[in-house]
Amino acid sequence: MNGLMMQHPLQIADILCHAERWHADSEIVSRNPEGGIHRYTYRDAARRARQAANVLTALGVSPQDRVATLAWNTHRHYELYYAVSGSGAILHTINPRLFPEQIVYILNHAEDRVLFIDAQFLPLIEAVCEQLKFLEHIVVLAPEAAMPDTPLGVQSYEALLADAPDTYDWPALDEDSAASLCYTSGTTGHPKGVLYSHRSTVLHAWACTGRDVLNVGNDRTLLPVVPMFHVNAWGVPYSATMAGAKLVLPGAGMDGASLYELIEGEQVDMLLGVPTVWLGLLQYCEKENLKLNPVRDVVIGGSAAPLSMIRDFDEKHDAFVIHAWGMTELSPVGTVNNNSRLMQQLPRAERYALQTKQGRPVFGVEMKIVDDQGQELPHDGKAWGRLLVRGPWIARGYYKHEDCSAWENGWFDTGDVATIDPHGLMQIVDRSKDVIKSGGEWISSIDLENCAMGHPAVAECAVIGVPHPKWDERPVLLVVLKEGQTATDTDLLDYLSGHVAKWQLPDKVLFVNELPHTPTGKLLKRALREAYQNLLME
Ligand code: ADP
């Protein structure tokens, strides 16, 4: 017997309609790429999203067509999140930090017909436009008066919107139909497309609002510094809207000074982003002797949050780090380590250590660690294994791509190696390709980085496995020092030996001016491994 409940498909447009009806006056504040701060409400955003949907119709966009964006976190990009998916087309957000050949590849692979672009990114397209096989329209996200000089045939978003009616009936869509498309940065091979559905997007956003997840409510003010071109800014444009929270969008201003100004000016209480952005903000605050007064929570994911960062946010800014783990294939949120009864009972130092773990799965994500034979490993906090997941917002394949090697028996192999402790807290040990295999033992590069980051002179660091004639691989530590600070390799090794076993100590410490990053802000360890492959072979 079926339950006697209504059938109502989960649709992205309904999220904005809900906010318009029930949280109409909650604000969206955005730093304009053309300068100045833009401020409006969910009421205004919903009206403009309907206008944008009419613009799409006028441009000839049909259901399930792919519509690309190359844009910062702004109110205009936000409107497109709803206009494109809500009208039944597929929003394809592109990371402008990709290499030009990758941008060409994904625009062609997705067969994008329309591109909405911030003026700053136009040169990327000017350089490759001959190679774009499917692109028919380029719309610059700017008013007519701020339109840049470009040889491309472009239109102004604001001019198009001004001519568009503000009535639009969002179509009823199949909840399983595709809503948005994100490509993983593809450190090897071509980027691969993850195609989210309306259902997966709504469920993921819904789950993220939860108290033990990101705790998003109408009384909160969120600043997603995580870009809207990276896994839909972790779903924040949806979950904030669902809850009617105030949303603050940083535009192109990701530096410490710009972020600080927004945080203070808009009384932001929740920050969300990858560790590298927070390094910049924390250093700026330290230099200027500033406190992030309104901030209560800092959601950190994308790479491991170092203990020193967790401590700095707490001790200097009274802000709690919510450590989260996920990936593009997971929409992206998989686990979250929010404040728990256990944490509240611990002295601070022990709590910080616990916060370096990536936490429990959000309800909706099933998770296990397995050995090489696929046997499940115990939750003892010690056994390391491949981390597998499954659930309604986890990809079951890549868009137009035959590679299904990451899926086994309905589970997705994340490519991460992890432990799970008796409390159920998962901890990422490493990406399987970054684990250092030394004489039959494994060394976690994340663990070593985490320790080295605790040294007061270290601004950023990376640990890589470098081929070694006797031990297969040995760890090498690369360090960027904080401005005006000094330290020697012996200082760092002495410091580390207080925290890790002797056989895990790096064979060499190298000081560098900067470290390479992927387009999503992670350390580009493959490049480092290539650069230093002969370092220990003499
Ligand atoms: P890409 O795969 O394109 O680099 P993703 O954002 O999908 O981009 O990367 C996901 C990977 O990032 C995860 O598999 C994991 O290795 C790493 N990661 C994400 N969050 C964390 C975290 N909190 N701690 C450690 N690693 C993380």
Q: What's the gap in Å between 288 CA and the centre of ligand 1?
A: 31
On the question of pLDDT at 189 being above 90, the answer is no
> Ligand 1 within 6 A of 414 CB?
yes
Would you state the pLDDT for residue 503?
92
Residue 372 to residue 353: CA distance in whole angstroms: 28
Is residue 27 situated within a structural domain? Answer: yes
Residue nearest to atom 4 of ligand 1 (CA): 185
* Per-residue CA distances from 390 to 143, 406, 462 (Å): 44, 12, 31
Helices (H), 440-505: 445-452, 489-497
Ligand 1 closest atom vs CA 518: 4
* Final residue belonging to a domain, choices 411, 431, 451: 431
**Tens digit of each residue's pLDDT (9 = 90 or more) over 517-527:** 988 888 999 89
Domain that holds residue 400: 365-431
- In percent, how much of the chain has pLDDT > 90? 93
- Tokens 């387009």 identify what position? 519
Residue nearest atom 2 of ligand 1, based on CA coordinates:
184
Cα-only R_g, the chain: 23
Question: Does 251 contact ligand 1 (Cβ within 6 A)?
Answer: no
Q: Is the confidence at residue 432, as pLDDT, over 70?
A: yes
The answer to whether residue 3 sits within a structural domain is no
Assess whether the C-beta atom of 183 lies below 6 angstroms from ligand 1.
no
> From the CB of 325, is ligand 1 less than 6 Å away?
yes
Q: Which of 99-103, 183-187, 399-403 has the lowest mean pLDDT?
A: 183-187
Pairing of strands 458-468, 472-481: antiparallel
Residues 377 and 524 in one domain: no
pLDDT single digits (tens) 195-205:
999 999 999 99
Tell me: the pLDDT tens digits for 463-515?
999 999 999 999 999 999 998 999 999 999 999 998 888 999 999 999 999 99
Which pLDDT score, from 0 to 100, does residue 383 have? 95
329: annotated active-site residue: yes
Catalytic entry in 329, 449, 460, 473 = 329
Q: Residues 193, 66: one domain?
A: yes
437 is catalytic: yes
Point out the catalytic residue in the list 316, 442, 482, 508: 442
Shared domain for 25 and 158, answered yes or no, is yes
Instruction: Find out whether 263 and 285 touch, Cβ atoms under 8 Å.
Output: no
- Gap between the Cα atoms of 489 and 174, Å rounded: 59
Residue nearest to atom 12 of ligand 1 (CA): 302
Indicate whether 251 belongs to any domain. Answer: no
- Structural domain ending residue among the three candidates 164, 197, 230: 197
Q: Is the CB of 520 under 6 A from ligand 1?
A: yes
Task: Kindly state whether residues 93 and 193 are assigned to the same domain.
Answer: yes
Distance CA(311)–CA(336), nearest Å, equals 18
Domain match, 99 and 176 both: yes
Mean pLDDT, residues 4-10: 96
Q: Which helix (H) or strand (E) holds 257?
A: helix 256-266
Give the mutation target among 97, 298, 327 for probing the ligand 1 site: most ligand atoms within 8 A of CB.
327
**H or E element that contains 159:** helix 157-163
220 in a domain, yes or no? no
pLDDT at 186: 60
CATH number of domain containing 495? 3.30.300.30
Is the distance from the beta carbon of residue 416 to the nearest atom of ligand 1 less than 6 Å? Answer: yes
Please tell me the distance between residue 354's alpha carbon and the centre of ligand 1 in angstroms: 19
**Average pLDDT, integer, range 382-393:** 97
For residue 286, indicate whether it is catalytic.
Answer: no
Q: Determine the distance separating the centroid of ligand 1 and the alpha carbon of 194, expressed in angstroms.
A: 15
Q: Is 184 a catalytic residue?
A: yes
Catalytic residue among 184, 221, 241, 356: 184
Ligand 1 geometric centre to CA of 272 (Å): 15
Distance CA 132, CA 111 (A): 9
Q: What is the CATH number of the domain that holds 118?
A: 3.40.50.12780
CATH number at residue 400: 2.30.38.10
Query: Which atom of ligand 1 is the closest one to the Cα of 230?
Result: 6
Token reading at 171: 């179509």
Q: Classify burial at 13, counting beta carbons within 10 Å of its beta carbon; exposed 0-12, middle 13-18, buried 19 or more.
A: buried
Q: How far is the CA of 500 from the centre of ligand 1 (A)?
A: 24
Average pLDDT over all residues of the chain: 96
Cβ of 96 closer than 6 Å to ligand 1, yes or no, is: no
222 vs 227, 293, 533, CA distance in Å? 13, 14, 43
Q: For the chain, what is the domain count?
A: 3
